[in-house]
Amino acid sequence: MSATTTADSPTSRRSLLVLLGFLAACFAVAALGGLATAGQVDGWYADADKPWFNPPNAVFGPTWSVLYALIAVSGWLAYRAGAPLTPWWVQLALNLAWTPVFFGLELLWPGLVVILALDAAVVWTILTFRKHSRAAAWLLAPYLAWILYATCLNTGIAVLN
């Protein structure tokens, strides 16, 4: 019997480091998004007219924390399965872009364009990942549902303001 267990193998350590990299990328986007919304949520956004289905602000932080973890694990599973990661990086970049456009610059209609592109990029990511890892694809389903909801919110806020 070998003294090196599977958990100690370089492959397992590398896989863990890759997972940590995906988590770091996602939570860096979360942190940058937090910077873009700092002062805005209690500023113009608090005074903006919102649709009746707008949730309390306290819902957003915990929801996004869970979603970013799912996005990271999805990317990691897809990486391990050999899936192309371009769509994953595109959706993450669009995710990063939306917050400063919508909140920071208060550009509601351009924000809608960005989030519609994000919707398409997440669908592209799911369709790409499902060919390699169904789990990676399914982990993105809550994210897609949430951003479609966010798209409705963005649209409602743009129309009302």
Fold (CATH) for 8-160: Ferritin (1.20.1260)
**pLDDT (tens digit, 0 to 9) for every residue of the chain, 161 residues total?**
444 444 545 568 898 999 999 999 999 999 998 888 877 777 899 899 999 999 998 999 999 999 999 999 999 999 999 999 999 999 999 999 999 999 999 999 999 999 999 999 999 999 999 999 999 999 999 999 999 999 999 999 999 99
Give residue limits of the domains in the chain.
8-160
| Cβ partners under 8 Å of residue 32, min gap 6 | 96, 99
The percent of the chain in helix, strand and coil, each rounded to the nearest 5, is 80, 0, 20
Separation of alpha carbons 27 and 21, rounded Å: 10
Output the pLDDT for position 34: 86
